[in-house]
Structure 1
Amino acid sequence: MMLPDRLKQGDMVGIIAPASPPNLEKLERAITFLYGLGLNVKIGKNLEKEYGYLAGQDEERLADLHEMFADDEVKAVFCACGGYGTARLADAINYDVIRNNPKIFWGYSDITFLHTAIRQQTGLVTFHGPMLASDVGQEDVNELTMKTFSQLFEPTAITYSEQISPLHILIEGDVTGILVGGNLSLLTNTLGTKFEVDTEDKILFIEDVNEEPRSVDRMLNQMWMAGKLQNLKGVLVGDFKNCTPHREKTLLLEEVFDHYIKKINKPTMKGFNIGHCSPNIAVPLGVNVRLNTFDKKVVFENGVQ
């Protein structure tokens, strides 16, 4: 795996919207936060474009992504928000531009498709981290969400323990492996494509939002039938916000997880505030992590050099 360079005071960072249009008022608050970190900011030329539920035409969003990675002045690329649209770009991305200009790439939710594609096409470590507009730009943003950006300035191992949130052991064990994953809907969306997520001997992280237990069941079943859950080293279950049933006859989300985690039968913990939640803790994807249920903690290797 290829680590991006750390950020320094005075560095220029780029902001793009590769999925849906961001809330510009909230984005302005997030930009103020970035300035407060001692960074300078460059906005993608097409960031304010709108095309239905997309932040501009595919060609426009793709151009911003390419330009930010190709720009030597830009040291990190932050996504303004998620929504929908990154899978439409994946097949047209020039991965040589990213491979030859490795830098911090940050976002989550719909950005999961780009995390997976970029990692598997280039080997670059990327960051599953809070969005600028939809997380950092909130008026009541949690302090831990803000502090999670500090890992970009110094190579630092991140330890997630119950000091952050209560963790629940589903399967006991102590295992080390490379972290992959993100939004379950988007991981399922990669199946059958050339960007199909590689989970072999990996530790899989999953999160999602606004999906009924039946939908989570459907996606986990598809991942199982595609052979993506049988050979994992371990599982981290993040936040599944608003994933509640809308019908009378249903399984609980906990029952769905219990069914599949027992089939996987690898060390598993749930309760991580990673995803559509507050606080939203950023973690690097593509690095080695140690999942230790006996100590109830996970240690993520540093994501920058």
Structure 2
Amino acid sequence: MSIVKPSRLKKGDFVGIIAPASPPNLENLERGILFLKGLGLKVKLGKNVKNINGYLAGTDEERVEDLHEMFLDQEVKAIICACGGYGTGRLAKKLEFEIIKKNPKIFWGYSDITFLHTAIYQKTRLVTFHGPMLGSDIGKEDTHPLSKEGFLQLFEQRKLDYTEQLSLLKVVVEGKASGPIIGGNLSLLVSTLGTPFEVDTKGKLLLIEDINEEPRAVDRMLNQLYLAGKLQEANGIIIGDFCDCTPKRELSLSLEEVINHYMKLANKPAIGGFQIGHCNPHISIPLGVHAEMNTFEKRLVVESGIL
């Protein structure tokens, strides 16, 4: 199955806002909506966006309903997630992937949204976008301009050429690698294992990032990916931001020691230091498109994700 790129946005287009995971901060969400309007876009809110069900933004059925309705709405040209948190894995078995397949459009988010990125790619090959969200990132008053600039890739075809001009990069395993980019949040990738939506890393560039996980937890998750063959099957590994992943006990390996251990076991080209994930700035990238990584040049080049 070949990949499907969504159509680009133009000024005056409608974008749909959904909360498929946790409830968003409503003040931040409003500021995020103003940002979208400043790009010349019109906004439709999912009818369940403001619902609260414990740590979930409504019931599973309500959150699935909003996602389906936005894909079915012919006026809506892009779907932007309000925030991450918890709960997207609960939706996967309830999704009608045929709806998504017949109505390909921009789908944008990260963190817990990783489960949806993975499931949608596995079932439809739709290119989706790993990028900062309205309520948890864009709506904050200290959001870096580069985080906002990433949305411009939705309006015109542009390659991402990520070098040390953007952030300090560190080579962990030397080499060159290419293939479609897949991945995202490490915790969510691990949670797909053994399910119908198990992440397929074979021949891919695997992106990993996470937040608030101690090195011992990162160790457990990387070990599970390694034992499942997922690290070895990847062509290369892109190490994004691991925010606040510091030891909370005196006796601990460092995060760097843990990551380096598994990268060397996998023995595939690997570079760390990418500002992709729970960081500010957060550089957004399309998932599913072809990319090339070169450790000798410390460079990652990602093709455009839109038509």
TM beyond 0.5: yes
Residue 35, structure 1, aligned to residue 64, structure 2: no
Q: Distance in 2 between matches of 1:15 and 1:261?
A: 37
* Structure 2 residues not aligned, in runs of 5+: none
Q: Distance in 1 between matches of 2:276 and 2:233?
A: 23
Q: Distance in 2 between matches of 1:87 and 1:231?
A: 24
Give the aligned residue type for 1:104: I
- Matched residue of 1:32: which SS? helix
2:148 corresponds to which residue? 146
Q: Distance in 2 between matches of 1:84 and 1:210?
A: 14
* Structure 1 residues not aligned, in runs of 5+: none
Q: Distance in 1 between matches of 2:233 and 2:31?
A: 43
CA displacement, residues 137-175 of structure 1 (integer Å, 9 cap, x when unaligned): 001110000101010001111111111100011111122
CA displacement, residues 44-81 of structure 1 (integer Å, 9 cap, x when unaligned): 00000000000001100000000000000000000000
Q: Distance in 1 between matches of 2:15 and 2:237?
A: 32
- Matched residue of 1:121: which SS? helix
Give % identity.
63
2:268 corresponds to which residue? 266
Moved more, 113-122 or 287-296: 287-296
Paired residue for 1:282, among 277, 281, 284?
A: 284
1:113 corresponds to which residue? 115
Alignment of 1:58-207 (within 5 A): 58-207=60-209
Q: Distance in 1 between matches of 2:61 and 2:71?
A: 16
Q: Distance in 2 between matches of 1:151 and 1:130?
A: 13
- Matched residue of 1:247: which SS? coil
Q: Distance in 2 between matches of 1:63 and 1:275?
A: 27
2:225 corresponds to which residue? 223
Q: Distance in 1 between matches of 2:223 and 2:268?
A: 17
CA displacement, residues 252-291 of structure 1 (integer Å, 9 cap, x when unaligned): 0111011101111111100000000000010000001000
- Matched residue of 2:86: which SS? coil
Q: Alpha-carbon deviation of 1:186?
A: 0.1
Aligned residues of 2:81 and 2:133 also touching (Cα < 8 A):
yes
2:297 corresponds to which residue? 295
Residue 56, structure 1, aligned to residue 66, structure 2: no
- Matched residue of 1:91: which SS? helix
- Matched residue of 1:278: which SS? coil
Query: TM-score if structure 1 supplies the norm length?
Result: 0.99
RMSD of Structure 2 on Structure 1 (CA): 0.5
Q: Distance in 2 between matches of 1:244 and 1:94?
A: 39
Give the aligned residue type for 1:149: F
- Matched residue of 1:290: which SS? strand
Give the aligned residue type for 2:168: P
CA displacement, residues 183-216 of structure 1 (integer Å, 9 cap, x when unaligned): 0000000000000000011110000000000000
Corresponding residue pairs, total: 305
Q: Distance in 1 between matches of 2:91 and 2:166?
A: 35
Give the aligned residue type for 1:220: L
